Amino acid sequence: MNQTFLTYFHAHKRMIIAAVIVVLGAILLATASVAALSQKAQAVVATVATSTPPAPNAYANLHLLGEAAIVYDLKTGQTLYAQDADQALPLASLTKLITMYGAAGVLQDESPVTITATALAQNGDAADYGFTEGETFAFKDISRLALVASSNTAAAAIAEAAARNKGVENTQLLASAVSAAGLSDTHAENGTGLDISTSEAGAYGTARDIATLAGKLLEKAPAIAGATVAPSITIRSEEGTVHSMPNTNQNVVKVPGILLSKTGYTDLAGGNLVVVYDAGIGHPVAVVVLGSTVNGRFTDVQQLITATGAHFAGVVDQN
């Protein structure tokens, strides 16, 4: 067979070589064509990518009065918007969220909280008047008043009761609450957030930490946190005295799906506000503004809520 093949090859070698050259040429031509098509496809993709405008930034045209702000998606853990969100600033009455978080881990709903002389001395707002020394409340009631009406007297009494129950100092109770909530840049010297002096605030923290804390409080004490969205609060002491006060955030009725609200204001802090609302079914979002003005904190938060609505309107899938 080998001899036959060699004889055939020698007789037709020119034709065989020519055929091989033709085949190799066809292969090279096909390879070049594929490469050219690939380059053209890449060029088309690049053209589409550069000619397609980026999705609009829903937060691009905000004009906030606050020094720091954050929109934090509590469901996904994503930061949707941040403005100096990791800068520690005076917290004012947002500190009461720390107090309630710490107390909720120590006191039961019916645990007695008694108004002391020290607590009475923490008066600074309308919600601090009307209490008497020795007056006693169930924790579940006075905690709601402390947050809804932002009562310093109520918050101080709760911090004292919880610290006494735990066998620690007030500052230790607050430090434990900060640690348990996983707050990295927050510390509190008192349970009210009232300024200690003209240069030292009662507590400092970041917008990011407050957003986290608000979400944690909703999980740990939903009845207490949920009460903050009511237009007013009315409770009765064990002695039978009724205390009724309006919410310090009268805009709660204007925020669809609102889950939590807490205001704060001191000379050092300026206007602070945290709101948690449901941006969808079971989709809580925390909005925090620090260092704004008395009225500006409400308009700042409303701007952020509106922008967040626009943001989610342009998102197809959040899962």
Q: What is the pLDDT of residues 278-302, one digit of tens each?
A: 999 899 999 999 999 999 999 999 9
Q: Where are the domains of the chain?
A: 1-52, 68-313
Residue type for position 162: A
Superfamily in which the 68-313 domain is placed by CATH = DD-peptidase/beta-lactamase superfamily (3.40.710.10)
Model pLDDT, residue 126: 82
Model pLDDT, residue 315: 55
Straight-line distance from the first to the last Cα atom of the chain, in angstroms, rounded to the nearest whole number? 70
Burial class of residue 36 (count of CB atoms within 10 Å of its CB; 0-12, 13-18, 19+): exposed
Model pLDDT, residue 123: 80
Model pLDDT, residue 253: 84
SS3 label, residue 275: strand
CA proximity to 193, closest of 262, 282, 92: 92
- The residues of the chain scoring below 70 in pLDDT are 1-56, 315-319
Model pLDDT, residue 13: 57
Tens digits of per-residue pLDDT, 145-189? Answer: 999 999 999 999 999 999 999 999 999 999 999 999 999 999 999
> For tokens 């702000």, what's the residue?
69
